[in-house]
């Protein structure tokens, strides 16, 4: 049986109006303050929670009672939000 010819496909090129436009601002790395801010928020959040537990609620702000936990975890969540912008 004779072997069939292999047909070469043409390479598809999108029309110019459908090609993705490269935006230089999106491709650039993030500024230095982004990871620095995230690390500071992580350290502050963990430090706040640890100091609250080690002092049995007497420090950082005694009158806030268990809202100190919310402050510590809010700092950690804020660091996650900042890190989501890191490129």
d(CA 50, CA 47): 5
Q: Is the pLDDT of residue 25 over 70?
A: no
pTM: 0.68
Q: What is the pLDDT of residue 22?
A: 66
What pLDDT digit, counting tens, does each position of 29-63 carry? 889 999 999 999 999 999 999 999 999 988 889 99
Query: Taken in order 72, 75, 80, 86, is the CA torsion positive or negative?
Result: negative
């Amino acid at each position: 049986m004779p072997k069939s010819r292999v047909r070469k496909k043409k390479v598809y090129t999108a029309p110019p109006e459908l090609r993705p436009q490269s935006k230089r601002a999106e491709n650039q790395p993030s500024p230095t303050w982004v990871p620095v801010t995230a690390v500071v928020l992580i350290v502050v959040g963990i430090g706040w929670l640890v100091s609250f537990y080690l002092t049995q609620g007497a420090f950082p702000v005694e009158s806030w009672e268990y809202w100190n936990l919310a402050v510590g975890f809010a700092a950690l969540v804020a660091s996650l939000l900042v890190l989501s912008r890191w490129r």
